[in-house]
């Protein structure tokens, strides 16, 4: 039995704390690697700088990602421990709506972790989970970590791969193999964000439900409309806007010296 810390919904950072608790719980269940907790912290720091909400810019990338997955011949959703812990249901729903395969792909590979992720996703309605054990028999030469092992029916033959929370090396390798890579990464400066074809600079917790919703809407559209959405998209512009947003926010807060509105009021009262 795993104990869970209760988090008051009144806490000003309740959502962030709930996500942390989810990761801790799933680490104890063998789904999240210890290093996954550190990776989450890196993401949280960028979320703070971005304002912890889905920007219009990120939404544009989400819409393009949905159109790209719907147009793909062999779309695959690559899943690691953090993604499974934070958004298992959305991953399964997205696979259903877009006709994607789900493949487990871990940086810190172990059969137990692969099986634990499979056991988490299957009861939610996932049809088939690739990448578990011997099934991941093919190798991507360009990748030097354990993540090089892929399923010959999944990532190896995919034309579009969605990588929520990815390592830069593998994103680079997948691009060099000619695949369209959709990344969800809060850090617009990471190698993943920079190498991806479509970078959704947002938290997976917010981005994945929106991606499911957008794909459900666009599913009824004609392919020409989807192709237009894709051809109008410019990933460099998306990255530039995300970096600019961080820059602008930091400039504003650095002028004021404070960021939290109640604290600003206290300062103003003291001055006035």
Cβ-proximal residues to 199 (8 Å cutoff; 6+ apart), any chain: 61, 183, 185, 188, 192, 193, 235, 238, 239, 242
Q: How many helices (DSSP H) and strands (DSSP E) are in the chain?
A: 11, 8
Q: Is 40 in the site for ligand ATP (CB under 6 A)?
A: yes
Residues with Cβ < 8 Å from 4, sequence gap 6 or more? 21, 25
- 168 versus 209: smaller Cβ distance to Mg ion: 168
Told to check if 43 binds ligand ATP by CB under 6 A, we report: yes
- Whole-number Å distance between alpha carbons of 96 and 121: 12
Give me the 192-211 binding string for ligand ATP, x by CB under 6 A, dash otherwise.
Answer: x----------xxx------
The least CB distance from residue 213 to ligand ATP, in Å, is 18
Residues 147-176 contacting Mg ion, CB under 5 A:
167-168
Residue 30's binding partner out of Mg ion, ligand ATP, none, with CB under 5 to 8 Å set by partner kind:
none
Strand order in the sheet with 129-130: 129-130, 101-104, 75-79, 160-164, 180-184, 198-200
Provide the minimum distance between the beta carbon of 205 and ligand ATP in the complex, in angstroms, as a whole number: 6
Report 211-270 residues binding ligand ATP (CB under 6 A): none
- As measured in angstroms, the least distance from the Cβ of 45 to ligand ATP is 8
What is the distance between the terminal CA atoms of the chain, rounded to a whole angstrom? 55
- Identify what 242 binds: ligand ATP, Mg ion, none; CB under 5 to 8 Å per kind: none
Element (H or E) spanning 110, and its range?
none
Q: Can you read off the two tokens belonging to residue 271?
A: 């001055």
In whole angstroms, the minimum distance from the beta carbon of 167 to ligand ATP comes to 4
Per partner kind, with CB cut-offs from 5 to 8 A, the member of ligand ATP, Mg ion, none near residue 185 is ligand ATP
- How many Å apart are CA 80 and CA 139, to the nearest integer? 17
Which residues here bind Mg ion, judged by CB under 5 A? 167-168
Binding site for ligand ATP (CB under 6 A): 39-40, 42-43, 46, 86, 165, 167-168, 184-187, 190-192, 203-205
């Amino acid at each position: 039995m795993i104990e869970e810390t209760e988090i008051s919904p009144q806490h000003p950072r309740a959502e962030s704390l709930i996500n942390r608790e989810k990761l801790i719980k799933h680490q104890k269940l063998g789904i999240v690697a210890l290093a996954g907790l550190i990776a989450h912290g890196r993401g949280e720091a960028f979320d703070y700088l971005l304002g912890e909400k889905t920007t219009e810019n990120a939404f544009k990338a989400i819409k393009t990602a949905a159109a790209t997955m719907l147009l793909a011949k062999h779309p695959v959703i690559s899943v690691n421990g953090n993604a499974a812990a934070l958004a298992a249901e959305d991953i399964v729903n997205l696979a259903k709506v877009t006709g994607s395969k789900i493949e487990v792909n871990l940086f810190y590979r172990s059969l137990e972790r692969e099986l634990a992720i499979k056991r988490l996703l299957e009861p939610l309605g996932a049809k088939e989970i690739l990448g578990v054990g011997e099934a991941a028999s093919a190798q991507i030469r360009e990748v030097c970590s354990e993540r090089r092992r892929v399923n010959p029916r999944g990532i190896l033959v995919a034309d579009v791969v969605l990588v929520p929370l990815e390592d830069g090396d593998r994103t680079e390798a997948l691009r060099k193999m000619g695949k369209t890579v959709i990344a969800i990464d809060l850090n617009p400066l990471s190698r993943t964000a920079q190498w991806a074809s479509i970078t959704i600079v947002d938290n997976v917790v917010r981005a994945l439900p929106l991606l499911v919703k957008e794909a459900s809407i666009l599913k009824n559209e004609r392919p020409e409309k989807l192709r237009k959405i894709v051809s109008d998209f410019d990933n460099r512009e998306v990255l530039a806007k995300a970096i600019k947003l961080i820059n602008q926010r930091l400039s504003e807060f650095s002028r004021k010296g404070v960021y939290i509105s109640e604290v600003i009021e206290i300062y103003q009262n003291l001055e006035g």
